[in-house]
């Protein structure tokens, strides 16, 4: 395909003039600490952590890891919500040459155990609030050490913004674990970051697949810094920016466009542990935030709440959205309410987040924008996966560029299926218009996007089959005006359970056994599930049935 999109990049974006970085992220953090010193790197409910402080703390954490015998390429798992401890452990592990495995803090035991065992993580950093979940899986995991911390350790005595109540809970004793505060206070500093090649793995980001088993996308040091530089060019990011950091950092979008960009550019990151509408608006106003990246559900909340107009959001200059498609009407309402255009983008865990973004000067609502520099994109036939479709016709989106993963962790077959002849097959169906703007139409892999989180029906089904009363289950996504999509499960009960187990019983069981965004909010008990002649569940029929009964 002719790269027609290059005509609509922002003025001044010249691919020939862009130089992708040749050094990994810890080098940029170290330089920014030398250059910026006491400038805040993080602001956490009023507590300021300078670049110098972040660099020293992460250096001590790196020194502690090396002292424990961790070698370059060993895995360090982080099981935390957004907080300074996350940033310190993340940067410290990279500095020591380790591979970060950032885990969803909403994971229950079965989810946590799979990712610890699959990654082979030797060290886990977790909140004291998660001690019971960690204790339940520690013996069956490869963990050699667990480091625990309390969120309240970095909350100031007089917070400048409302703090999530759970962050204010008293610290809990965690026998048999190492104390995070003690490590960053007393461990010997490592010094210079351990040398790593750009094609060395830096992250294992878990993303589910149609088999129901989460796979780890191997993202390299080169992937991280390449996308940081491309994002810097696209939004003209500088150290003068103040970035709102409310998307979860364990998720690739929040990690790359907030946490990594802070270390890369020297911008200040206003870190929030949880989304709360008024807290977000107050943070933008109080700290004069210039850059935001949000998800569709947050955008909806902002434009629908009358309180939004009470806050001064004039400092913003680049407002991005990702995670799930933003209806054009919501984008228009965002612009009317905030006075700023909403810039939608597109990317996946396998692509270190964005491969596409609308240009700041010329967004086209209803699209995910244009491919980034150095990024090639094709729309290929759903029939053969090879024939390229012309503008306006639908097909699978395939991508190649400096942000695409090296493969799936220890899954060569899955890697070979996803990456063919250098092209990454996204599994998403879309089309490109005559100007090179891309439109996402649906998910080839049946994925559900609930509040911006990726939910794979096969994984939910695999977890639900652990319930002793369930004979068969089919999971689909159904439209939801706030969450984007909701998870709906059609369940066939075993004969012995009929009449004694209710749909609500199963809903409550699911909430106790899996992350809240995965757990079906609705369960419908049915006699049978529609199937093909070969016995596969007809998801299309289930979605049609759900629509009829809505």
pLDDT tens per residue across span 94-149: 999 999 999 999 999 999 999 999 999 999 999 999 999 999 999 999 999 999 99
Asked whether residue 307 carries a pLDDT value surpassing 80, the answer given is yes
pLDDT of residue 328: 82
448-549: CATH number: 3.30.300.30
Return the higher-pLDDT residue of 273 and 304: 273
Q: What mean pLDDT comes out for the span 20-49?
A: 98
pLDDT tens per residue across span 420-469: 999 999 998 899 999 999 998 876 667 788 888 878 787 888 899 889 99
pLDDT of residue 296: 78
Q: How far apart are CA 439 and CA 397, in angstroms?
A: 10
Q: How far apart are CA 313 and CA 288, in angstroms?
A: 8
pLDDT of residue 374: 98
pLDDT band at 209 (very low <50, low <70, confident <90, very high): very low
Asked whether residue 488 carries a pLDDT value surpassing 90, the answer given is yes
Q: What mean pLDDT comes out for the span 291-317?
A: 90
Dihedral (C-alpha) 363, 368, 374, 380: value to the nearest 10 degrees? Answer: -140
pLDDT tens per residue across span 336-390: 999 999 999 999 999 999 999 999 999 999 899 999 999 999 999 988 999 999 9
Q: What mean pLDDT comes out for the span 236-261?
A: 96
pLDDT of residue 532: 57
Total Cβ atoms within 10 A of residue 138: 18
Asked whether residue 208 carries a pLDDT value surpassing 70, the answer given is no
Cβ-Cβ contacts under 8 Å for 492 (sequence gap 6 or more): 470, 471, 472, 473, 525, 526, 527, 528, 529
pLDDT of residue 536: 66
Asked whether residue 210 carries a pLDDT value surpassing 50, the answer given is no
Beta strands in 264-415 (DSSP E): 268-271, 291-295, 318-322, 342-348, 353-357, 370-371, 376-380, 395-400, 407-408
pLDDT band at 282 (very low <50, low <70, confident <90, very high): very high
pLDDT of residue 534: 47
**Whose structure tokens read 């040091």?**
221
pLDDT of residue 117: 97
27-375: CATH number: 3.40.50.12780
- pTM exceeds 0.75, yes or no: yes
DSSP per-residue string spanning 160-182: SSPPPGGGGSPP---TTSEEHHH
- With beta carbons less than 8 A apart as the criterion, state whether 216 and 118 touch: yes
**SS3 for 508?**
helix
| Helix, strand, coil percent content, the chain, rounded in steps of 5 | 35, 25, 40
Q: What mean pLDDT comes out for the span 319-346?
A: 88
Asked whether residue 418 carries a pLDDT value surpassing 70, the answer given is yes
Sequence ranges of the domains in the chain: 27-375, 448-549
Mean pLDDT of the chain, nearest integer: 93
Q: What mean pLDDT comes out for the span 302-307?
A: 88
pLDDT band at 539 (very low <50, low <70, confident <90, very high): confident
Angle between helices 84-95 and 51-67 (to 10 degrees): 60
Q: How many residues make up the chain in this entry? A: 550
- With beta carbons less than 8 A apart as the criterion, state whether 132 and 153 touch: no
Asked whether residue 211 carries a pLDDT value surpassing 80, the answer given is no
Q: What mean pLDDT comes out for the span 189-213?
A: 85
């Amino acid at each position: 395909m002719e790269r027609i999109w290059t005509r609509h990049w922002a003025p001044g974006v010249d691919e020939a003039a862009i130089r992708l970085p040749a050094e990994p992220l810890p080098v940029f953090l170290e330089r920014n600490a030398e250059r910026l010193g006491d400038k805040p790197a993080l602001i956490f409910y009023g507590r300021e952590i300078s670049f110098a402080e972040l660099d020293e703390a992460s250096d001590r954490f790196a020194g502690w890891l090396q002292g424990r015998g961790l070698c370059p390429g060993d895995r360090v798992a982080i099981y935390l919500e957004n907080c300074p401890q996350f940033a310190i452990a993340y940067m410290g592990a990279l500095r020591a040459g380790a591979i970060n495995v950032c885990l969803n803090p909403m994971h229950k035991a079965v989810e946590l155990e799979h990712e610890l065992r699959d990654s082979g993580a030797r060290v886990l950093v977790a909140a004291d609030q998660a001690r019971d979940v960690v204790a339940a899986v520690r013996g069956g995991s490869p963990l050699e050490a667990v480091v625990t911390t309390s969120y309240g350790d970095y909350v100031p005595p007089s917070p400048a913004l409302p703090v999530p109540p759970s962050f204010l809970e008293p610290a809990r004793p965690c026998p048999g674990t190492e104390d995070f505060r003690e490590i960053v206070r007393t461990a010997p500093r490592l010094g210079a970051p351990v040398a790593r090649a750009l094609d060395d793995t830096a992250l294992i980001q878990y993303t589910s697949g149609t088999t129901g088993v989460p796979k780890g996308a191997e993202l390299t040091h080169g992937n991280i810094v390449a996308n940081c530089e491309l994002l810097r060019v696209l939004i003209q990011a500088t150290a003068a920016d103040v970035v709102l950091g409310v998307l979860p950092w364990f998720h690739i979008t929040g990690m790359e466009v907030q946490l990594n960009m802070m270390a890369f550019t020297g911008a200040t990151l206003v870190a929030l542990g949880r989304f709360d509408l008024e807290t977000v608006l107050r943070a933008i106003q109080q700290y004069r935030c210039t850059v935001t990246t949000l998800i569709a559900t947050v955008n909806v909340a902002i434009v629908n709440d009358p309180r939004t107009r009470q806050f001064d959001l004039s400092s913003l200059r680049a407002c991005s959205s990702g995670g799930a498609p933003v209806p054009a009407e919501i984008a228009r309402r965002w612009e009317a309410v905030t006075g700023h255009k909403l810039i939608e983008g597109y990317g996946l865990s396998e692509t270190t987040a964005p491969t596409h973004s609308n240009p700041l000067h010329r967004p086209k609502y209803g699209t995910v924008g244009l491919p980034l520099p150095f990024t090639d994109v094709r729309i290929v036939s759903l029939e053969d996966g090879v024939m390229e479709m012309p503008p306006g016709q639908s097909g699978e989106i395939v991508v190649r560029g400096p942000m695409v993963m090296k493969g799936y962790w220890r899954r060569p077959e899955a890697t070979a299926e996803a990456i063919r002849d250098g092209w990454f097959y996204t599994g998403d169906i879309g089309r490109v218009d005559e100007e090179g703007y891309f439109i996402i139409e649906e998910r080839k892999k049946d994925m559900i996007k609930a509040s911006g989180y990726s939910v794979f029906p096969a994984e939910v089904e695999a977890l639900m089959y652990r319930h002793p009363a369930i004979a068969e289950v089919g999971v689909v996504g159904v439209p939801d005006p706030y969450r984007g999509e909701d998870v709906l499960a059609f369940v066939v009960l075993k004969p012995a359970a009929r009449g004694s187990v209710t749909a609500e019983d199963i809903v409550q069981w699911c909430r106790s056994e899996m992350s809240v965004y995965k757990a079906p909010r609705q369960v419908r008990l049915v006699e049978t599930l529609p199937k093909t002649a070969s016995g596969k569940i007809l998801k299309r029929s289930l979605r049609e049935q759900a629509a009829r009964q809505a």
